Structure 1
Amino acid sequence: MASRRLLYLGLALLVASSLFLLWNLRAPIDFILTLRATKLAALCVVGAAIGTATVVFQTIAANRMLTPGIVGFDALFVFIQTGLVLMLGGVGFASLPALAQFGAETVILVAAALALFSVLLRKGAEDILRLVLTGVILGVLLRGLAGLAQRLLDPSEFAIVQQATFATFGAVDEIQLGFASVILLLSFAAAMGLSRKLDIAALGRGTAQPLGLDFDRVVFAGLAIVALLVATSTALVGPISFLGLLASSLAHAVLPTWRHALLLPGAAIIGATILVAGQFVFERLLGLQSTLSVIVEFAGGLLFLFLVLRRPRP
């Protein structure tokens, strides 16, 4: 049943992708198809990466209400963008080589995440709660520092920061997308290779270790995969904090299974479908030019509040 539903999810993504590419297609067809294909690839890659990372993170944290963004990826990204504009100015920031900036941001985000994981979990993987709380505090600190720095910018530079810190798929560089796709595909393959161990890790440390699982090693490997997936997608298009919560919640609802071999591709497909279908409706049907991430964050925030406030079943 779950495998069949996964197939249906794949067909839904195929339909959404076809509509996105071919709807109201006019001359020059080759040029427009190239632009749309680049944007479609970015939507699919980022959606799949965030969906996969969220399922892995929730399994490790044993909490379906958490997302990797709670560790502070988005806050660090905003802090980096603000710092660059403050130091280089608007003209200097705009003249930075796109590929070098993407590579540097990816390395910084991954290094910061791995440093946080290794420092806080050096005594073992049982203290995930301390990791989450530290990530929340660091995120608040970085947002505060970024807000303070933004007050020092003139209006034109502040506008540049605002544009750089919202997720956008309209100006994705093809070379950056190529490098990001390779990293994200390898990370997804690593997550799939870890799926059976994640099935056991989901039982909890006390149950997993007697079954022969090296729980600490699985947690560190899972967090490293999460860091690569989220850092690369964030450096490519910007932060989308609540997309993962939407994709993961829908994956658990549509695929009532504990097997990560199905949940991981399910969340990846759903995450990609949300972005592709949302961008199609937002851009093609409604003709709006705002950023899709605003709508995704709004819907994800509502879902988070629902999960927090709903009464537990007796």
Structure 2
Amino acid sequence: MLPVLRGSPDVTNGEDSPPTAQARRPGQAGRTRPAAGRRTVLWAALALTTALLVLALLSLLVGTGDAPAGRALAYLLGVPGARADAQLQLAVGDVRMPRTFAALVVGAGLGTAGALLQAVTRNPLAETGLLGVNAGAAAGVVTGLTWAGVTSAYGMLGWALAGGLAASAVVLLIAASGRAAGSPLRLVLAGSALGATFHGATAYVLLGSRSTFDEYRYWTIGSLAGVDASAVRAMAPVVGVGLLCALLTARPVSALALGDDAARALGHHPGRVRLAAVGAVTLLTGAAVALAGPIAFLGLLAPYAARALAGPRIVAQLLLSALVAADVTLAADVLARVVMRPWETPVSVLLALLGGPLLIWIARTDRGTLTGGAA
């Protein structure tokens, strides 16, 4: 009797052996894993959205102003007596609401920008300050304070946004020139070099102007305290445009993960795709930095957590990164109001304290690495 080889047809009954039958049905396993991945993303998005709503409500009930949580809830529910209370209107309507929306805008902007920047540069350590946007915004604020006579927070907002956009424009011009136009290495080098130049120029101006330094230090510390509704209304459309651009570039950026040659074969121009993605990152980062100051680390942490949940899918990474960053920003801002009452702790400090251990855990589990994939 001839032996039956593993993986070959069974000569006794003419049917395929289980290994061969399984090999002839590869689509079954292939369909199961993406379905499970989509379910994970959906459940993660649902959990993060629920947490976001809870944190937003907590942000409205706790913190700034002498308004107890019960009275603040009555104000939010529209109770006539609470609505007529001028103190509640000031604490909840004029201070806490704009601050809560600012945390959502800043978190979503920096989280999306970080995820897109890491994908387009293929660098899991890339963060939003890498393109010189933060340094450009700081230089813009110093310029406005020193030579333009800016005294209002709204004026600093405009100068910060203008400085960030100008710095990114210079980086894009440098990266778009030469034979390796639009390459990730050229973008990173141009942004790092320009950021160092702006940092040096900013420090030089601050050393010669005590009054400018006193005003600048409140902005550069990275905080949502003092944000008003007009500033949020001014920056929210910029972040909205940036989010739309990020979604439009997600699939071309996903094709870049396969390599430039494969992306060209699919009809994409790698240099143009990278420049378009960096433009979206600039809008998101510039608006967020102008609104809350240079909050570092958030654009590095959120994409790691998003990749651990979404895997290589770029669109899912952008969505989850925005939600994670918004949750973390809101949680840090709420804690900033209560941990050292009656004073406040800067949000950027709490983000570093909260996010550092989490980032170390993600790095140790090897779940945040960049991998190729589809949108």
* TM-score bracket for the superposition, by shorter chain length: 0.7 to 0.9
Choose which of 191, 209, 215 in structure 1 pairs with 2:246: 191
Choose which of 77, 93, 102 in structure 2 pairs with 1:42: 102
* Match runs of 1:40-189 below 5 Å: 40-87=100-147, 92-94=149-151, 96=152, 98-122=153-177, 123-125=179-181, 127-154=183-210, 156-189=211-244
- Larger RCO, structures 1/2 (Cα 8 Å, 6+ apart): 1
Instruction: Calculate the aligned-residue CA RMSD, in Å.
Output: 2.7
What's 1:245 paired with? 300
> Which structure 1 residue ranges, 5 or more long, are not aligned?
none
Identity over aligned pairs, percent: 27
Write the letter of the residue equivalent to 2:200.
G
Give the Cα–Cα distance (whole angstroms) in 2 for the partners of residues 198 and 229 of structure 1. Answer: 17
Give the Cα–Cα distance (whole angstroms) in 2 for the partners of residues 311 and 47 of structure 1. Answer: 24
CA change 1:301–1:56 in 2 (3 A) is same
3-state SS of paired residue (1:93): coil
Write the letter of the residue equivalent to 2:88.
I
| 2:120–2:277 contact (8 Å) kept in structure 1 | yes
Give the Cα–Cα distance (whole angstroms) in 1 for the partners of residues 231 and 59 of structure 2. Answer: 22
What TM-score do the two structures reach when normalised by structure 1?
A: 0.87
What TM-score do the two structures reach when normalised by structure 2?
A: 0.74
Larger Rg: 2
CA change 1:302–1:146 in 2 (3 A) is farther
What's 2:79 paired with? none
Give the Cα–Cα distance (whole angstroms) in 2 for the partners of residues 111 and 79 of structure 1. Answer: 10
Give the Cα–Cα distance (whole angstroms) in 2 for the partners of residues 159 and 106 of structure 1. Answer: 20
Q: What is the CA deviation profile of residues 92-119 of structure 1, one whole-angstrom value per residue up to 9, with x for unaligned ones? A: 432x5x4454334323321320231132
Give the Cα–Cα distance (whole angstroms) in 1 for the partners of residues 276 and 182 of structure 2. Answer: 14
Q: Does residue 349 of structure 2 align to residue 294 of structure 1? A: yes
Give the Cα–Cα distance (whole angstroms) in 1 for the partners of residues 138 and 282 of structure 2. Answer: 17
3-state SS of paired residue (1:102): helix
What's 1:10 paired with? 49
Give the Cα–Cα distance (whole angstroms) in 2 for the partners of residues 290 and 45 of structure 1. Answer: 20
C-alpha deviation, 1:183, in angstroms? 1.4
Give the Cα–Cα distance (whole angstroms) in 2 for the partners of residues 119 and 157 of structure 1. Answer: 31
What's 2:90 paired with? 31
Give the Cα–Cα distance (whole angstroms) in 1 for the partners of residues 145 and 362 of structure 2. Answer: 37
Q: Which has the higher helix share?
A: 1
Give the Cα–Cα distance (whole angstroms) in 1 for the partners of residues 225 and 50 of structure 2. Answer: 25
| 2:133–2:165 contact (8 Å) kept in structure 1 | no
